[in-house]
Chains A and B, each alone.
Chain A
Amino acid sequence: MKGHERFMLIELISRLFRQPKNGGKPDMSDTQPQEALFGVPLRIAVAAARTKMGDSIDFVIREIGRDDAGNPLAAVFYVDGLVDAGKVSGLLETLVQAAPNAAEVPPPPPTLRQMLQDRVHSGKTVAIPTEEAFYSAVLAGSAVVLVDGCREAFSVSVEGGDKRNVEEPSSQTVIRGSKEGFTETLSTNLTLLRRRLRTTQLRIEYRTIGRFTNTQIAIAYLEGIANPTVLTELRRRLDAIDIDGVLESGYLEEFIQDHSFTPFPTVLNTERPDSIAGHLLEGHCAVLLDGTPFALVLPVTFFKFFLSSEDYYQRYDIVTFIRGIRFLSFIVSLLLPSLYVAITTFQQEMLPTTLLISLAAQREGVPLPALLEALLMELTFEVIREAGVRMPRVIGPAISIVGALVLGQAAVQAGLVSGAMVIVVSFTAIANFVIPSISMSAAIRLIRFGLMFLAGFFGLFGILAGLVPLLIHLVSLTSFGIPYFLPVAPLSLANLKDVFVRAPWKAMRSRPELISVRNRTRQQAGKPNRKEKD
Chain B
Amino acid sequence: MHKSCSLILICALFSCILAGCWDRSELNDLGITSATGIDWSEGRWIISYQVVVPSGMWSGTGGNGSSSQATIHVFSSEGKTIREAASNSNLEIPRQLYFAHTDLVVIGKAAAEHGLADLVETYLRSVEARESVVMAVTEQRASDILKLFVPLERIPGDAINKIMSKQEAISGYFSIVRLIDFARDLYSDSRTTGVPEVNLRGKRDAEAHSELTSQDFFKMTFSDSRLRLTGVSVFKDARRIGRLDLKESFGVSILSAEVKKSIVAVPCPSASSPNGFSSFRVEKNKDESDP
Chain B, residues 1-41, CB within 8 Å of chain A (1/0): the string is 11010011001101110110101111110101010000000
| A460 contacts B27, C-beta separation under 8 Å | no
* Bound CA span A9–B4, Å: 15
How many residues on chain A are close to B (CB under 8 Å)? Answer: 39
| B101 contacts A356, C-beta separation under 8 Å | yes
* Bound CA span A415–B1, Å: 46
* Bound CA span A32–B16, Å: 67
CB distance from B102 to the nearest CB of A (A): 9
Chain B, residues 78-110, CB within 8 Å of chain A (1/0): the string is 000000000000000000001011010000000
CB distance from A345 to the nearest CB of B (A): 5
| A461 contacts B19, C-beta separation under 8 Å | yes
The residue on B at minimum CB distance from A358 is: B58
A348-B100, A370-B26, A458-B21 as given contacts; A358 in contact with B7, CB under 8 Å: no
* Bound CA span A363–B29, Å: 9
* Bound CA span A360–B52, Å: 10
| A363 contacts B19, C-beta separation under 8 Å | no
Chain A, residues 414-425, CB within 8 Å of chain B (1/0): the string is 010001000000
Interface residues of A in 447-505 (CB under 8 A from B): 454, 457-462, 464-465, 468-469
B11 contacts which of A2, A364, A469 (Cβ < 8 Å)? A469
A361 contacts which of B8, B23, B54 (Cβ < 8 Å)? B54
| A461 contacts B24, C-beta separation under 8 Å | no
Chain A, residues 356-370, CB within 8 Å of chain B (1/0): the string is 111111111110011
* Bound CA span A364–B59, Å: 9
* Bound CA span A9–B54, Å: 55
* Bound CA span A344–B4, Å: 31
Q: Which A residues touch B55, using CB under 8 A?
A: 361, 364-365
| B15 contacts A454, C-beta separation under 8 Å | yes
CB distance from B97 to the nearest CB of A (A): 13
Is residue A349 contacting chain B, with contact meaning CB distance below 8 A? yes
B4 contacts which of A1, A346, A363, A369 (Cβ < 8 Å)? A1
* Bound CA span A462–B12, Å: 8
* Bound CA span A461–B185, Å: 37
Interface residues of B in 52-68 (CB under 8 A from A): 52, 54-55, 57-62
* Bound CA span A464–B24, Å: 17
* Bound CA span A370–B21, Å: 14
Is residue B144 contacting chain A, with contact meaning CB distance below 8 A? no
The residue on B at minimum CB distance from A342 is: B19
Q: Which B residues touch A353, using CB under 8 A?
A: 32, 34, 101, 103, 155, 158
CB distance from B111 to the nearest CB of A (A): 26
The residue on A at minimum CB distance from B8 is: A469
| A457 contacts B21, C-beta separation under 8 Å | yes
Is residue A104 contacting chain B, with contact meaning CB distance below 8 A? no
Q: Which B residues touch A508, using CB under 8 A?
A: none
| B15 contacts A360, C-beta separation under 8 Å | no
A419-B62, A465-B11 as given contacts; A364 in contact with B28, CB under 8 Å: yes
Q: Which B residues touch A366, using CB under 8 A?
A: 28
Q: Which A residues touch B54, using CB under 8 A?
A: 357-358, 360-361, 363-364
| B28 contacts A356, C-beta separation under 8 Å | no
A365 contacts which of B12, B21, B28, B62 (Cβ < 8 Å)? B28
* Bound CA span A353–B102, Å: 9
Is residue A190 contacting chain B, with contact meaning CB distance below 8 A? no
| B58 contacts A1, C-beta separation under 8 Å | no
Interface residues of B in 203-257 (CB under 8 A from A): none
| A459 contacts B27, C-beta separation under 8 Å | no
The residue on B at minimum CB distance from A413 is: B61
| B57 contacts A357, C-beta separation under 8 Å | yes
* Bound CA span A358–B155, Å: 13
Chain B, residues 135-155, CB within 8 Å of chain A (1/0): the string is 000000000000000000001
> Which of B11, B25, B28 has its CB near the most chain A CB atoms (within 10 A)?
B28
> Which of A356, A360, A366 has its CB near the most chain B CB atoms (within 10 A)?
A360
Q: Which A residues touch B7, using CB under 8 A?
A: 469
Q: Is the interface of A mostly helix, strand, loop or mixed?
A: helix
Chain A, residues 80-101, CB within 8 Å of chain B (1/0): the string is 0000000000000000000000
A348-B27, A349-B100, A356-B32 as given contacts; A465 in contact with B61, CB under 8 Å: no
Q: Which A residues touch B4, using CB under 8 A?
A: 1
A353-B103, A469-B11 as given contacts; A369 in contact with B26, CB under 8 Å: yes
| B100 contacts A365, C-beta separation under 8 Å | no
The residue on B at minimum CB distance from A457 is: B21
Q: Which A residues touch B18, using CB under 8 A?
A: 458, 461
Q: Which B residues touch A2, using CB under 8 A?
A: 1
Q: Which A residues touch B62, using CB under 8 A?
A: 419
| B11 contacts A363, C-beta separation under 8 Å | no
A358-B57, A413-B61, A465-B15 as given contacts; A1 in contact with B1, CB under 8 Å: yes
| B23 contacts A346, C-beta separation under 8 Å | yes
CB distance from A483 to the nearest CB of B (A): 19
Is residue A386 contacting chain B, with contact meaning CB distance below 8 A? no
Q: Which B residues touch A460, using CB under 8 A?
A: 19
Q: Which A residues touch B21, using CB under 8 A?
A: 457-458
| A357 contacts B52, C-beta separation under 8 Å | yes
Q: Which A residues touch B32, using CB under 8 A?
A: 353, 356-357, 360
CB distance from B6 to the nearest CB of A (A): 12
> Which of B4, B11, B34, B57 has its CB near the most chain A CB atoms (within 10 A)?
B11
| A370 contacts B27, C-beta separation under 8 Å | yes
The residue on B at minimum CB distance from A367 is: B28
| A458 contacts B60, C-beta separation under 8 Å | no
Q: Which A residues touch B15, using CB under 8 A?
A: 454, 458, 461-462, 464-465
Is residue A5 contacting chain B, with contact meaning CB distance below 8 A? yes
Is residue A407 contacting chain B, with contact meaning CB distance below 8 A? no
| A363 contacts B26, C-beta separation under 8 Å | yes
| A356 contacts B1, C-beta separation under 8 Å | no
CB distance from A312 to the nearest CB of B (A): 39
* Bound CA span A457–B25, Å: 11
The residue on A at minimum CB distance from B12 is: A465
* Bound CA span A459–B61, Å: 28
Is residue A384 contacting chain B, with contact meaning CB distance below 8 A? no
* Bound CA span A520–B221, Å: 76
The residue on A at minimum CB distance from B24 is: A345
> Which of A9, A358, A459 has its CB near the most chain B CB atoms (within 10 A)?
A459
Q: Which A residues touch B16, using CB under 8 A?
A: 458
CB distance from A220 to the nearest CB of B (A): 37
Is residue A412 contacting chain B, with contact meaning CB distance below 8 A? yes
Q: Which B residues touch A369, using CB under 8 A?
A: 26
Chain B, residues 111-154, CB within 8 Å of chain A (1/0): the string is 00000000000000000000000000000000000000000000
CB distance from A509 to the nearest CB of B (A): 41
| A365 contacts B11, C-beta separation under 8 Å | no
| B58 contacts A458, C-beta separation under 8 Å | no
The residue on B at minimum CB distance from A473 is: B4
Q: Which B residues touch A361, using CB under 8 A?
A: 54-55, 57-60
CB distance from B25 to the nearest CB of A (A): 7
| A5 contacts B1, C-beta separation under 8 Å | yes
* Bound CA span A444–B198, Å: 54
List 8 extra interface pairs beyond A5-B2, A360-B30, A364-B60, CB under 8 A. Answer: A353-B158, A357-B32, A358-B57, A370-B26, A413-B61, A457-B19, A462-B15, A465-B11
Can you report 9 A-B residue pairs in the complex whose CB atoms are below 8 A from each other?
A: A2-B1, A345-B24, A353-B158, A361-B58, A363-B28, A419-B62, A461-B15, A461-B18, A465-B12
Q: Which 6 A-B pairs have the closest CB atoms?
A: A361-B54, A361-B58, A458-B19, A360-B54, A465-B15, A458-B15
